[in-house]
Amino acid sequence: MEVPLNPIGREEIHRLESILLFATLFRPEVIELIKDPAERLTWVDSLAVAAGTIAREKAGMTVPEIAVELGRTEQTIRKHLKGETKAGQLIGETYELIKQGKLDELVKNIEVLARGGQLVAVEECEKLKKEKEELEEKASRLEEEKRQLEAKIENIKAVLRDALERVKDIEKLL
């Protein structure tokens, strides 16, 4: 899914809004902020309003239009846009990180979750990829060793056949 940085239409606005919200929620510093259950609801609501504000502003909506649509005061909308609120700052930073391509992995993880998949940490994924490569390399080495052992067995069988033939020839002479 492509991130619409300058959305056109409701669908793209909602897509940008959702990505901004989820990408911000998965940032380590935000996870720390929302650990307190008493604060969680307030934080998530503030982040959702800030994400909606920035997504709509990027779509070219005016402050009064955004305020009406989100059911907040124009003052609240302006504070989010100016980064005067912590939620506005965080969502604004997330927008810039996405714009710079620095949150691509996080956005991919959000897409996986949206499709009902399970997340695997980037470090865990890299570890598993490395382990897979090592196992494939080991399997390749073992396959080569197997071929070499089979060749040796065939050589031993040939030597034994020759030896058996000699024994038979000797028995005939006796």
- 37-55: per-residue pLDDT in tens? 777 778 888 999 999 999 9
**pLDDT given at position 101:** 80
Identify the burial level of 91 via C-beta atoms within 10 angstroms of its C-beta, where 0-12 means exposed, 13-18 middle and 19 or more buried: buried
* Full-model pTM: 0.59
| Cα 114 from Cα 106, distance rounded (Å) | 12
Residue 16 carries which side chain, given as an amino acid letter? L
- Residue with more model confidence, 123 or 117: 123
Mean pLDDT of all residues in 135-157: 95
